[in-house]
Amino acid sequence: MKLVVLACLAAVATAAPQFPQNFNLQEASRPIAILRDERQDSGDGNFIYEFETENGIAVSARGSPGSQGQSNIQGVYRYPLPDGTIAEVRYFADENGYQPQSDLIPTSPPLPAHAIEQIRVAEEQRAQGITFQ
């Protein structure tokens, strides 16, 4: 029984939120003023909205009806990073899905030369009709 109680206490301690040493919970939970909030909705699927807060968060989007029943949206959002720089993500959302563009999004490293060569050989073999079972 003591082991179960000890395990429960350990689980609660582990699940507790972990904050950096310089994190101020009172500062983080205070209301943030909205400096700008503009919205337009035409009622036909076209819309525009923009808002900005006092802590540096900003969002802007423009939408229109898509050819396949979806909403086509083009927008950008920005927010401050802990180091003081501003993160920015530009995006498109349409029949091809959500397509973000940002320096923050990790990219895969380039393929090594031997992998590129193997792909080239495989494409040549496929073009010649060579198959493997």
Interval 41-55: pLDDT, tens = 988 989 999 999 999
> Does the residue 10 lie in any domain?
no
pLDDT at site 15: 63
> Does the residue 114 lie in any domain?
yes
> Does the residue 81 lie in any domain?
yes
Let me know: does 104 contact 87? Beta carbons within 8 Å: yes
Q: What is the spatial order of strands in the sheet that 47-53 belongs to?
A: 34-41, 47-53, 58-65, 71-80, 86-94, 97-101
> Does the residue 94 lie in any domain?
yes
pTM of the model: 0.61
Residue 12, pLDDT above cutoff 90 = no
> Does the residue 56 lie in any domain?
yes
Amino acid, res. 55: N
List the domain range (segments joined by +) for residue 47. Answer: 34-127
Let me know: does 57 contact 79? Beta carbons within 8 Å: yes
Overall number of domains in the chain: 1
Q: What is the band of 131 on the pLDDT scale with cuts at 50, 70, 90?
A: confident
> Does the residue 78 lie in any domain?
yes
Residue 79, pLDDT above cutoff 80 = yes
Q: How far apart are CA 6 and CA 61, in angstroms?
A: 51
> Does the residue 117 lie in any domain?
yes
pLDDT at site 23: 66
Amino acid, res. 6: L
